[in-house]
Amino acid sequence: MPSRKIVATELANVMRQISHPDRIRLLLKLQSGEQTVNELAAALEIPPTRVSQHLGVLRAIALVETENQGQKRVYSLPQPELAGWLIEGIDFIAHRLGRASERDIAFAKELWLSEAGGSVPAPVPAAAPTAAPAPNAAASAAPPPSVASGVAPVEVKRTVRAAVN
């Protein structure tokens, strides 16, 4: 099916772009609201030039937005659900984190959740199935952004619970 291939390709591209530890930390830090490069650099102990480079990558795929506020440029997440998806992903990979204890993992999750105000935005539900589009329309239509962010956390949870039980 061409539509599955398109969606899988786009999802792989997004995952490839966020696959750097600094970018994941930036996304999780931005869940608490708008911040400047210098604020992010100080909070994450990353040089401002490197923060700017990572934010440029994230802006290129629309995971981060910018707004000029006077002389400052502030960055924010247009879809805060992404941070929740990343936090939920910790459960999925916890068995692979040999260098981190269960306590360390739980503490990291707790810190990121507290930065989000104590709760992670609920995932956007996937759209209800509709009639199949014409063959040409499926190849040219872009998938809605909510498909990737709405389905993945639920599947991750089910997979982890199945593996634990």
Tens of pLDDT, residues 87-138:
888 877 777 767 778 888 888 888 888 887 655 444 444 444 444 444 443 3
pTM of the model: 0.65
CA within 13 Å, CB half, 29? 22
**pLDDT per residue over 39-93, tens digit each?**
999 999 999 999 999 999 999 999 999 999 999 999 999 998 888 888 888 877 7
3-state secondary structure string across 23-41: HHHHHHHHCCCCECHHHHH
User: Does domain 2-164 match CATH 1.10.10.10?
Assistant: yes
| DSSP-derived 3-state class of residue 78 | coil
DSSP state of 63: S
